[in-house]
């Protein structure tokens, strides 16, 4: 993606955890490299389409506290996802709608009211190098994105050449905006080690209301507030460790749920390692993973057990939602 001379974005304040993301780098999980990419894939895609980008162009993902950015070239911008008021030189701008920024102006944000992650798309995309097929940041591996890390004060983000004209004022239909609910239901398929839970603990896991812990991040979301999980007694195999929640190492799919020590479930997300020694009792279905990325600490979740047929139907519905988004924002 060629860059127009001088068209860069200067980071004045980086926010809490702002990084460059796209759809992610699939195909390397088997060697321990997670997909990374936007935690709320739908919102990131919507932001790109609003400004005329391809769906997979790189955007900025900001968490809980937005960045402050000075634009050194004219730009068309859209902000989707979390409810965090965008402002240009202090003047409020609409969320979920494309708006213009002139060279020298500063984009900043109000405090997040709902949701956890906002997505900032700039016409032309953030033009960082492609690493293993993606521009997404994988901070644990220190590669991808902008120098393999979250943004810092003084960074200079190159903007790619605009390939497709779009106009200010294009907005995302209300029904397609991130729901940003403080209480969500997360559908779960039973996992390889679900049978290790006692019947009482298996029932309690789906009966209880769980709260997002402050430790929630791109690697995993920790939940508290429900009853401790108890595992069936057994003689631990060699290499599994003494705790009954430990196993001999196994693979972790994205969305898998582990319960270290039986105390606090952790849902592994897009920067998670690909395997380890905790029993995975289930996995949140792919159609619900975007919901997790928009959960703030202390938001509530209830887990709902589903069948494979129900999970596949939900995946089909999610694909149709993306098709409706493309149709709504098609040039």
273 assigned to some structural domain: yes
Q: Which residues pair with 258 in a beta bridge?
A: 266, 280
Mind listing the pLDDT tens digit for each residue in 100-145? 999 999 999 999 999 999 999 999 999 999 999 999 999 999 999 9
User: CB 38: neighbour CB atoms within 10 A?
Assistant: 28
74 assigned to some structural domain: yes
Structure letter (DSSP) for residue 236: P
Q: What is the pLDDT of residue 16?
A: 93
* pLDDT category of residue 6 using cuts at 50, 70 and 90: low
* pLDDT category of residue 237 using cuts at 50, 70 and 90: confident
Q: What CA–CA distance (Å, rounded) separates 178 from 155?
A: 29
Sign for the CA dihedral angle at 36, 41, 45, 48 comes to: negative
Of 74, 60, 85, residue with least CA distance to 6 = 74
Query: Which tokens sit at 306?
Result: 């589903």
Element (H, E) at 3: strand 3-13
**Same domain membership, residue 246 and residue 105:** no
Pick the last residue of a domain from 179, 200, 222: 179
Pick the last residue of a domain from 179, 214, 238: 179
Q: What CA–CA distance (Å, rounded) separates 44 from 120?
A: 8
**Same domain membership, residue 125 and residue 205:** no
Q: Which residue has the tokens 């239901």?
A: 185
* pLDDT category of residue 241 using cuts at 50, 70 and 90: confident
Domain CATH number, residue 208: 2.40.100.10
* pLDDT category of residue 240 using cuts at 50, 70 and 90: confident
User: CB 216: neighbour CB atoms within 10 A?
Assistant: 22
**Same domain membership, residue 173 and residue 189:** no
Q: What CA–CA distance (Å, rounded) separates 266 from 313?
A: 25
Mind listing the pLDDT tens digit for each residue in 247-298? 999 999 999 999 999 999 999 999 999 999 999 999 999 999 999 999 999 9
Element (H, E) at 275: strand 275-278
**Same domain membership, residue 227 and residue 133:** no
121 assigned to some structural domain: yes
Task: Output the pTM of the full model.
Answer: 0.95
**Same domain membership, residue 246 and residue 213:** yes
Pick the last residue of a domain from 179, 197, 219: 179
Residues 6+ apart with CB under 8 A from 274: 29, 30, 32, 33, 34, 251, 252
**Same domain membership, residue 246 and residue 154:** no
Report phi then psi at 194, rounded to 5.
-60, -35
**Same domain membership, residue 248 and residue 278:** yes
Crossing angle (nearest 10°) for helices 41-50 and 308-328: 10
**Same domain membership, residue 117 and residue 169:** yes
199 assigned to some structural domain: yes
How many domains does one find in the chain? 2
Residues 6+ apart with CB under 8 A from 262: 201, 228, 229, 230, 231, 244, 245
327 assigned to some structural domain: no
78 assigned to some structural domain: yes
**Same domain membership, residue 138 and residue 57:** yes
Give me the domain span that covers residue 32.
3-179
**Environment class of 165 (CB within 10 Å of its CB; exposed 0-12, middle 13-18, buried 19+):** exposed
Of 118, 136, 121, residue with least CA distance to 329 = 121
**Same domain membership, residue 190 and residue 173:** no
331 assigned to some structural domain: no
101 assigned to some structural domain: yes
- For the chain, give the mean pLDDT: 95
**Same domain membership, residue 117 and residue 85:** yes
**Same domain membership, residue 189 and residue 175:** no
Q: What CA–CA distance (Å, rounded) separates 98 from 30?
A: 38
């Amino acid at each position: 993606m060629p860059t127009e001379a001088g068209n860069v974005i200067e980071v004045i304040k980086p926010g809490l955890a702002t990084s460059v993301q796209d759809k992610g780098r699939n195909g390397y999980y088997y060697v321990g490299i997670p997909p990374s990419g936007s935690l709320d894939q739908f919102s990131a895609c919507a932001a790109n389409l609003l400004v005329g980008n391809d769906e997979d162009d790189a955007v900025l993902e900001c968490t809980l506290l937005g960045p402050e950015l000075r634009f050194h070239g004219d730009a068309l911008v859209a902000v989707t996802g979390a409810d965090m008021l965008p402002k240009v030189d202090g003047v409020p701008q609409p969320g979920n709608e494309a708006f213009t920024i002139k060279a020298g102006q500063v984009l900043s944000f109000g405090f997040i009211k709902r949701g956890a992650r906002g997505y900032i798309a700039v016409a032309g995309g953030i033009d960082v190098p492609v690493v293993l097929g993606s521009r997404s940041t994988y901070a644990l591996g220190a590669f991808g994105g902008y120098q393999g890390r979250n943004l810092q004060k003084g960074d200079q983000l190159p903007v790619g050449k605009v390939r497709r004209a779009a106009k200010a004022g294009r907005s995302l239909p209300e029904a397609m905006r991130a729901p940003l609910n403080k209480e969500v239901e997360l559908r779960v398929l039973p996992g390889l080690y679900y049978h290790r839970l006692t019947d009482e603990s298996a029932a309690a896991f789906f009966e209880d209301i769980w709260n997002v812990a402050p430790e929630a991040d791109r690697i995993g979301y920790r939940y508290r507030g429900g009853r401790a999980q108890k595992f069936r007694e057994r003689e631990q195999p060699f290499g599994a460790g003494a705790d009954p929640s430990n196993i001999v190492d196994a693979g972790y799919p994205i969305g898998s749920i582990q319960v270290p020590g039986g105390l606090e479930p952790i849902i592994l997300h897009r920067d998670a390692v690909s395997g380890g020694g905790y029993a995975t009792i289930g996995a949140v279905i792919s159609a619900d993973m975007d919901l997790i990325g928009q959960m703030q600490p202390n938001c509530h979740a209830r887990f709902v057990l589903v069948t494979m047929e129900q999970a596949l139907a939900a995946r089909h519905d999610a694909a149709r939602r993306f098709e409706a988004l493309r149709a709504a924002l098609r040039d």
